[in-house]
Amino acid sequence: MVIYNPPVKDYEFLFNEVFDIIPTIQKLGYEEMDSDFLTMLMEGWADHTTNFWLPINQLGDKIGIRYEDGLIKSPKEFRDAYHKGVDSGWLSTSCKEEHGGMGVPVFFQAVTWAEFGTATNMALSVLPALTTGVYEVLTEHGDEHLVDYFAPEIGKATWAGTMCLTEPHAGTDLGMISTKAIPREDGSYSVSGTKIFITYGEHDITENIVHLVLAKTPDAPEGTKGISLFLVPKYLPSEWKTGTLEGISTSLRKEVNGISCSGSEEKMGLHASPTCVINFENSIGWRVGDLHNGMPLMFQMMNRERLATGMMGIGLAEIAYQNALSWVKDRRQGRDLNGIKDPNHKADNILVHPDVRRMLLEAKVNNEGCRALASWTGLLLDQIKSEDNKESERAQALLDLFTPIVKAHFTDLGCETVSTCMQVMGGAGYCSEYGVEQFYRDVRISKIWEGTNGIQALDLAGRKITQNMGKNLRYLLWPLTKFIEDNREIPEMEEFNKPLYQGVKGLQQLTLLMISQGQTNPHFLAAGATDYCRYFGNVLLAYMWAKISKTSLEKRGTPFYDAKISSSRFFFDRIFPETLALGAKIQSGHKSMMNYPEEMF
């Protein structure tokens, strides 16, 4: 039986004590948000997911979706659980109240909502996460008539949303897309083309599906500069004839808007989440944003989904850890190497074995460190909307820097952690009964989704560290160096502060190396990008653990805070030292791989 206890207490600690998030949020216009209300939100969502989402997760994995004659049928239990979420408002917490949402800060949905939802049912959580992304792009960049008509239904999650980028011949290189959008006299467009790997592109959970589609208009410039973004609904309004959507009801036509599903992928995991081939044939749609400005808008949504994908790594790593730990507490094999620990049993609990402790602590400590960085990143999503230009600029710079790291590092660690938890459980971990093998199959897509982790690393090393004349990195180094300096003379902080200082110094040196060498030989930069991204991720987690240690040292003497201090020591002793090897790999350059004879592969 799979268990899950949502880490509400850990988030309370991070939000209220480590980051003191409430005063910042209140200054941003959320005056009614306080720590009690935040806890109520977290506990309410925790109850909802454990009561309605977790019990059907394994069922969805076994039953999966059913594709018949272009239609996809989801398990009834998934439809019921989704609509329970709609009715209670949990699927639209950050949407505006005028559009049927709760109107709470973005960080709650982006962080806590995402972790609890993913942990309990990743296959179902993807649908409202995508829908929220469509809502944000639409409300920020859509014309008034589009917002007025579509936003209330999308905001309430009664209509779902997708993003349609990839084509059979155009994956990462979106400049090669061939989907066309032909202008119509009434201001709408006729969209035609084929998109692949569209998550929830077809399903029967909501009554309408609203696609955001990348396409090119006639005579558009070559490459990505010629791409525009279009909103294309599966069903058109029954009252719509031509022109805008002003003043018409949300009742829908029975016939499909030229959209068909010609297949659903058979996948390693996420069996209840459809991944579709979607065809548009003279489908009516409306442009969102300016002509030929589709890529920046789609990347706005993609970057939010990249953060959401990073949270998938944390969510599944956490539930895998909890189930491995539960199994360990009942498992007895062998004796402690230093002598019998429990003479009343024929064997000791396997928690006495150093390697079991190593695996569990790696899982626990990486999960908690990532959760802290996610909390900081979530706050930035609200701060970018600040009316204070300096605060907004700083938040955007940090968010640009953190996004590829959160996506890549969290999902790398998520896959490693779930695999490690399976190893902790031995043969039981490989069996479906205990759930961990499903978590591994589900989480594995996270390293591929929304731009593979190799692409994220290239984005970080090739763009984000030099973007805005290096402002992104400077906005990070200022608080980092200040924290190190402020704690330099505190003896109890030395064991955390000193390795953090060394890591930051190493990051600065490696960054200069990547920039200088990369300018003359891009192979050098590309060869070291993945290791650089992991190095950077470890430095950020080191900063998180140093901050957690500072807070916990002030309140030590209780099990919770003492455990945080012990976890921090484990991180700096057993996890952070990998940065030394990563640095050596980066400095080794590209020659041994690029000079390797192709015929010898």
What single-letter DSSP state applies at residue 415? Answer: H
**In terms of Cα–Cα distance, which of 598, 516, 453 is closest to 524?**
516
Closest CA to 378 of 308, 483, 284, 425: 308
Q: Which helix (H) or strand (E) holds 581?
A: helix 578-587
Task: Give SS3 for 210.
Answer: strand
Rounded Cα–Cα distance for residues 171 and 176 (Å): 9
Decide if 112 contacts 97 (C-beta within 8 A). no
Annotated catalytic residue within 77, 167, 450, 495: 450
Q: List for the chain the helix, strand, coil content (%; round to 5).
A: 60, 10, 25
What type of residue sits at position 500? L
Reading the block at residue 93, the tokens are 């917490």
Strand, coil or helix: 195: strand
**Tokens linked to 59:** 């069922």
CA 517, CA 534: separation in Å to the nearest integer? 19
Determine the residue type at 465.
I
d(CA 446, CA 310): 7
Amino acid at 106: V
User: For residues 196 and 166, is the Cβ–Cβ distance under 8 A?
Assistant: yes
Q: Is 450 a residue of the active site?
A: yes
The token pair that represents 399 in the structure block: 């968010």
Burial label for 59, CB within 10 Å (0-12, 13-18, 19+), is middle
> How far is the C-alpha of 297 from the C-alpha of 284, rounded, in Å?
20
User: Which residues have a catalytic role annotated?
Assistant: 450
